Amino acid sequence: MGNDLISDEARDVRGDTGGKRGEALNARSRASVRFGWGRARFEADVDVTPTTMLAIGGMVGMILLAVVPIVQAGGRAARRRPW
């Protein structure tokens, strides 16, 4: 069972994972950030796979595509309104 969108050649990619088949495609990335200002503190810790990054990119792209018609509709409504 695997992802049909990934070819067998891509699955054979050997990264710095010790040469195990397919592990380079599922390698996890980790990032964390911590900052504060005054008494406020913020801490975030993220652990993602390449598939997760693809999903996040898709969601961001859909949000950006959805914003354009909303802004255009607001501009048209503002131009029609007599002040």
The 10s digit of each residue's pLDDT in 34-59 is 989 999 999 998 888 888 889 999 99
Q: Could you tell me the residue range of the domain that residue 76 belongs to?
A: 49-83
Binned at pLDDT 50, 70 and 90, residue 82 comes out as confident
41 and 10, same structural domain? yes
24 and 10, same structural domain? yes
- Token pair listed for 32: 């964390």
Statement: residue 2 has pLDDT above 60 = no
Query: So what's the pLDDT on residue 23?
Result: 63
5 and 15, same structural domain? yes
Query: So what's the pLDDT on residue 67?
Result: 93
Report the alpha-carbon distance of residue 56 to residue 53 in Å, rounded. 5
40 and 4, same structural domain? yes
More confident residue, 29 or 23: 29
- Rg of the chain, C-alpha, whole Å: 22
1 and 29, same structural domain? yes
Average pLDDT, the chain: 78
Contacts of 25 (CB under 8 A, 6+ apart): 6, 10, 11, 13, 50
